[in-house]
Amino acid sequence: MPSVRAASVEAESLAVVGRFAGLARGAGLLVISVFGVLATPAGALPLAFGLLALALLTAAVEVYASRTGRGRRAAFVLALVRAAAIGATQVATAPEPGELNQWALNVLTITAITLQWEWPPRVTVPAVACLLVVQLLPLTPEDGVGVVLRVLIESVLARLAFLLLLRSTRQVDRLRERRIRLEREEFLAVERRRQEREYLAVLHDTASATFLMVAQRGETADPAKVAEYARRDLRILTGETGHDSMVELESSLRGVLEQSPVRVNARWSTVPLLPASVALALVRSVREALVNVERHAGVTEAVLTVEDGVRVTVRDTGRGFDPAEVRPHRRGIRGSLVERMAAVGGRATVTSAPGAGTTVELVWPDD
């Protein structure tokens, strides 16, 4: 059966982008702040070191928020305070009087870009607008126009890139959902056809037994008995029986042995008619046991014993295994044998050891 739905690509991408944005902003602006301090005039170094301390504190909070997912709002507020503080003091920290401070400009643009990847426009638009106002106050009109254009263009491009990423991940999610749905439908269709074939095979064996009786007895066949058998078979074939239909286990198992992947030495004893659900469980369990012999035992022969009661045993002399070491996700023994037999009131027991072969015992009823 196809696995259940995993986390969406969109959610995973948003989480990755959110973590990356905070880390990139915190680390990048800390490095830029170090170089900004180095370019600051000697008279403004105390102020520059104060701004560097603020950048260090903000970077630590952003890294913590990115790694843990907590404190995102505090990191957002500190990022705005850092950009506003550096922008408001750009005149004092500029290398030359009247020169545009690249430290403040880089902090502003990187902050505006990375915020587009973490927060919606209703948050980023007023935040960036406020930062622009603070940045433009000390600047001349010529410098101010250039700063506004740069920040707007970079912010819009960052937002468009983010939206393109969202669109791509949502398309991937839709395609994956469609693939999972098709795989599930295909699996269910294959499983339904397989079960129908097995059930029809059991029913076919029952009807064949009626026809064989008529052929063998010829004119001596009791018409009333033949009619009763035919009516029973018809009720089985049309699903009109009000209870579990009775079928012959031996004829059903012989169909499995004919298609067995390994040679089977069968030993039979008289077995009474069984409910169809029980016969199906035994047929499927025997088939699974023979498939396991072919896949895992390393031998090409097995022994099938059917005893009255009903007790069906499949033995092989292959390499064997330790049942206690079978991992939980491997459902061959538990799902195909133990649970299947338990569902019809029976019992399945698997006995094996490395080098000692394997014995599968199926018992119904479990008393």
What pLDDT score was predicted for residue 342? 86
Q: Annotate 19-57 with b (16+ C-beta within 10 A) or e (fewer).
A: bebbbbbbeebbebbeebbeebeeebeeebeebbebbbe
CA-wise closest residue to 150 among 94, 185, 108:
108
**Shared domain check, 161 and 306:** no
| Residue tagged 């960036």 (tokens) | 128
Does the residue 238 lie in any domain? no
Last-in-domain residue among 120, 144, 172: 172
**Shared domain check, 252 and 140:** no
**Shared domain check, 250 and 163:** no
For residue 270, the SS3 value is coil
pLDDT at 264 over 60: yes
**Shared domain check, 127 and 37:** yes
Does the residue 352 lie in any domain? yes
Average pLDDT over the chain, rounded to an integer? 80
The tens digit of pLDDT for each residue in 313-360 reads 999 998 888 877 766 555 556 556 788 888 888 899 889 888 889 999
Does the residue 226 lie in any domain? no
**Shared domain check, 138 and 44:** yes
The tens digit of pLDDT for each residue in 270-323 reads 777 888 778 878 888 888 888 888 888 889 899 999 887 789 999 999 888 887
Average pLDDT over residues 36-65: 88
**Shared domain check, 167 and 21:** yes
Tokens of 248: 């012959």
Of 127 and 21, more confident: 127
Domain range enclosing 37: 9-172
**Shared domain check, 261 and 158:** no
Tokens of 178: 């469609």
Does the residue 236 lie in any domain? no
**Shared domain check, 132 and 258:** no
Does the residue 337 lie in any domain? yes
Does the residue 198 lie in any domain? no
**Shared domain check, 271 and 138:** no
| CATH number of the domain enclosing 313 | 3.30.565.10
Does the residue 218 lie in any domain? no
What pLDDT score was predicted for residue 5? 46
The tens digit of pLDDT for each residue in 164-223 reads 988 888 888 888 888 888 888 888 887 777 666 655 555 555 555 555 455 545 555 567
Which residues 6+ apart lie within 8 Å of 11 measured at CB?
A: none
pTM of the predicted protein model? 0.51
pLDDT at 6 over 60: no
What pLDDT score was predicted for residue 122? 92
Contact 71, 63 (CB under 8 A): no
Last-in-domain residue among 147, 172, 197: 172
Q: What is the distance between the alpha carbons of residues 352 and 340, in angstroms, rounded to a whole number? A: 20
Does the residue 240 lie in any domain? no
What pLDDT score was predicted for residue 363? 92
Total number of domains in the chain? 2
Last-in-domain residue among 154, 172, 190: 172
Average pLDDT over residues 112-140: 89
